[in-house]
Chains A and B, each alone.
Chain A
């Protein structure tokens, strides 16, 4: 056989990416999984004691900090889901009321350009109990208002949710606007001819038509929530207590404070598991969408 460069050249060009995938992703994931079975502390210790190889996981499931982190993950997920709702409301309003569309879009989207560290710094300042929003409200005479969310374990998470909604609503709005624009304009006319009320139009026609957009948003949101670290660090650094720990924070803490590589790896593997749980529907969704498109 003669050498055919048209067959070989692309494979050569793919080698770097392949190497990166194999080493930095697949190899590293396997490495971390392996480490999670060891008792590695600061440095890797590759001996596995097979009589208690699940030791790190056992500890994880008994660790109050980990269960707090998991609950917070759910809280954060549900709370941030408001960003999708909010995003949809904004998108629907902007889409119906054309006036000022460019202006509103610009305003709602700019927080997305801001890093989560900056977002955290800004909101932490606003929520500062002695000089921030609360102090101002008290000065204005609304002494009953309690905005010292960051100070209490049961409200600190809400502050993080508030900041993340502020940061990400615009993004979901942009996705929703795109979704709304792809809806055939004749549907609006048809609904108007039929005399359907706007509410029913949205609830019975538009939202079901956009279920794919909603699903996309939900999956993106979940993946974002799993990765949430910066915002927690900048807003509360995990506190008060462990009340705002999330898995992403837990892993870093285990690595740096506890200096327990094995434990951090076990927590990271659990994070990967959660990611896969979210990822699986995405794969199914993509397959489903492809089939639907093929059928169309």
Chain B
């Protein structure tokens, strides 16, 4: 690390990052795949603070399911690489390292004293092969239950009282009779994939979860009681889905709950952003909780990576970006807009009821597992999603058939 850069760190630390005038204004190209309203609002928090430092934020967004990974990798290796990118996959950082374009940030974290403010699960998720490679920006729980409290009240149901999925499903008939969709589901491949791993963590527990979604897949666990349990619950969810669920976007689905057409949704808690965007207040208009009876919850840590082998000015600008993301105030604002939970334990500002609940779940390290994206082989996960979505879409497909397909996929991909 050069002396000039060290000086800049010192200056940044002294003055407080957000207001530090940048020595050199850079046009920083930022790649992400966020596009819904709350996501964009949260990005704008970063953007405003970052541009206040004199830099320019040039945005490139490729929506989730159009192959952002391929684009990102090719942009990086091509003539126009983004400097900052929203990317969790550890394999991606390994590829970057192979190309000499990785930028380890361990020194910077240590110099800035950031590590003591981050939960250990977050530090784990941003570490790739021993070096910190990413800048965590938000924590999400992948499978939270959000419900419309007004509707629950009208129906005379208290979701908070459910202590298991069985108890939850037991109320569905009552809810349907009142003309309300009990659970709103958007049946797109990735949503079903997320729902499944949330169910897996919830009903089958961390050991099974990590055997399937962890860095090291254990083939013996594919054909297991836990897998059958997970698949059986998935089938029950499918049977409970309404007619319009096919190919419905998650935020459209959330809106069904907001408008009272449906009672609840199980999804990543980024859906909170939709609620707050609609002017609803957590704990008053909508309730949030983990899946009833959950053994563990899957945690997503959204994180940015920065590109190495850049000009000195760009290197500095990238670190400016990192310091903006990890600024306690920015963390709180960002979390409020996106509906996430801050990654910093000392994030300034108000924490709403839902985030308080999340922080409660996260207190117990045994109660959490990591989002598959940050851990697992992309090919294996994609093949899992293929099988799961087929299973979802074809009611005649049995759990055994699904397990058979998974086993053969394992042999082909990882075997």
Contacts and interface: CB of A to CB of B under 8 A. Distances in A.
The answer to A–B direct touch (Cβ < 8 A) is yes
A65 B386 contact: yes
A151 B189 contact: no
A62 B243 CA distance: 32
A148 B243 contact: yes
Nearest to A264: B70
B243 A151 contact: yes
A105 interface: no
Interface in B376-401: 378-379, 382-383, 385-386, 389-394
A259 B378 contact: yes
Interface in A164-216: none
Contacts of B69: 42, 256, 259
B405 to A, nearest CB: 6
B189 A64 contact: no
Interface stretch (A231-239, A275-283, A286-294): A231-239
Interface in B87-118: 91-92, 95, 98-99
A257 B382 contact: yes
Contacts of B247: 150-151, 236-237, 239-240
B389 A239 contact: yes
Contacts of A241: 389-394
A120 B378 CA distance: 29
Interface in A106-142: 128-130
Contacts of B379: 41, 258-260, 263
A43 interface: yes
B244 interface: yes
A255 interface: yes
Interface in A76-123: none
Given A59-B412, A239-B189, A255 B393 contact: no
B60 interface: no
A238 B70 CA distance: 19
Contacts of B188: 237, 239
B73 interface: yes
A54 interface: no
A272 interface: no
A222 interface: no
Contact of B412 (A41, A62, A257): A62
Given A241-B392, A241-B394, A41 B91 contact: yes
Contacts of A242: 386, 389-390, 393
Interface string A225-251: 000000000001111111100000000
A260 to B, nearest CB: 5
B177 interface: no
A151 B73 contact: no
B91 A42 contact: yes
| Binding site secondary structure of chain B | helix
A295 B382 CA distance: 57
B156 interface: no
A239 B73 contact: no
Given A41-B91, A242-B390, A252-B67, A151 B378 contact: no
B383 A256 contact: no
A236 B389 CA distance: 13
B67 A64 contact: no
B192 to A, nearest CB: 9
Most buried by B among A42, A62, A129, A152: A42
Contacts of B246: 150-152, 239-240
B383 A258 contact: yes
B311 interface: no
Nearest to A238: B189
B408 interface: yes
B398 to A, nearest CB: 14
Most buried by A among B65, B99, B378, B393: B393
Contacts of A260: 378-379
A258 B378 contact: yes
Most buried by B among A62, A237, A239, A257: A257
Contacts of A59: 412-413
Contact of B95 (A43, A130, A152): A43
Contacts of A42: 69-70, 73, 91-92, 95
B85 to A, nearest CB: 14
A256 B389 contact: no
Contacts of A152: 246
A87 B168 CA distance: 54
A161 B14 CA distance: 65
Contacts of A128: 244
A64 B378 contact: no
A263 B380 CA distance: 13
Contacts of A41: 91, 379
B2 interface: no
A86 to B, nearest CB: 27
Nearest to A150: B246
Most buried by A among B189, B243, B385, B386: B386
A36 to B, nearest CB: 15
A239 B66 CA distance: 14
24 contacts: A42-B69, A42-B73, A43-B73, A43-B95, A58-B412, A65-B386, A237-B65, A237-B247, A240-B247, A240-B393, A242-B390, A243-B393, A243-B394, A255-B67, A256-B70, A257-B67, A257-B382, A257-B385, A258-B382, A259-B70, A259-B91, A259-B379, A259-B382, A260-B379
Given A42-B73, A43-B73, A255-B70, 6 more contacts: A64-B386, A130-B244, A239-B188, A242-B393, A258-B378, A259-B70
